A = this chain, B = another copy of it.
Amino acid sequence: MRILLINPNTTAAVTDLLVAAARPVAAAGTELVPHTARIGFPYISSRAEAQLAGAHLLEILAERSGEADAAIVAAFRDPGLQPARELFDLPVIGMSEAAMLTACLLGGRFGIVTFSTSLAPWYRDCVALNGLLGRCSGIRTLEGPFRDIAAVQEEKEELLVALAARAVEEDGAEVVILAGAPLAGLAPRVADRVAVPLVDPIAAAVKQAEAVVSLAPRKARAGGFARPAPKPSTGLAPALAAWIAGER
């Protein structure tokens, strides 16, 4: 099966990290098709950036959804996920929802650990939107700047491991999610140094995408995730306008 792995950030080095973390867990017959956003930000870290990146995600899927069996939105906080799931026919999986749902299989409450303070309230919204606040023991973030988004996981490795330990000891986390695309691949490397199971969001997303493709659910034809009726629009990217107009 082919899985479109869409990095909504414009930094190709982060796409490389994601693919490197995803490949070892992918099944034998799974082909990962990476796509780095052409429009947007080197690294999405705010609601406004996510609004814009989520809009561009729809443009990408309007062009490429026909090439794949499923798509992954490979940024924590899943920009554009629900709109994409509604609009397109292929399954679309968000990296943060996949991480949280997978964590639920490994323990009662999960903690979220990430590298930047500014992300906490925004991540909390994401947990709430998924209806999982009752399963979340807390969100812990590092303070202070980092040098390079594509190398932040090495720069901060010790601090992140220590933070995960606090999530376990002080918050009662029974699983820890190492969140944020730039941390892709960190979980397996530090698993022995944290006392509870770790979840790597991109790895979880690949497995959940494979699961959903295998189960071959029908696209909704009613309710909040049915494809909207064809509609005219003004000023959209042509492929997306055509899709929304029902011309494809």
Write the residues of chain A forming the contact surface with B, with a CB cutoff of 8 angstroms: 10, 25, 27-29, 38-42, 45-52, 54-56, 58, 80, 82-84, 86-87, 91, 93, 97-98, 101-102, 104-109, 118, 120-122, 124-125, 128-135, 168-169, 172-175, 188, 191-192, 194-200, 203-204, 207-208, 210-212, 214-226, 228, 231-236, 240, 244
Contacts and interface: CB of A to CB of B under 8 A. Distances in A.
Given A131-B132, A203-B214, 15 more contacts: A27-B27, A40-B233, A40-B236, A47-B87, A51-B51, A51-B58, A51-B83, A101-B101, A102-B211, A107-B224, A131-B135, A192-B218, A194-B218, A195-B222, A198-B218
Contacts of A215: 25, 102, 199-200, 203-204, 207
Contact of A216 (B58, B118, B188): B188
B83 A47 contact: yes
As for how many copies of this chain the complex holds, the number is 6
B48 A86 contact: yes
A39 B211 contact: no
A121 B218 contact: no
A208 B105 contact: yes
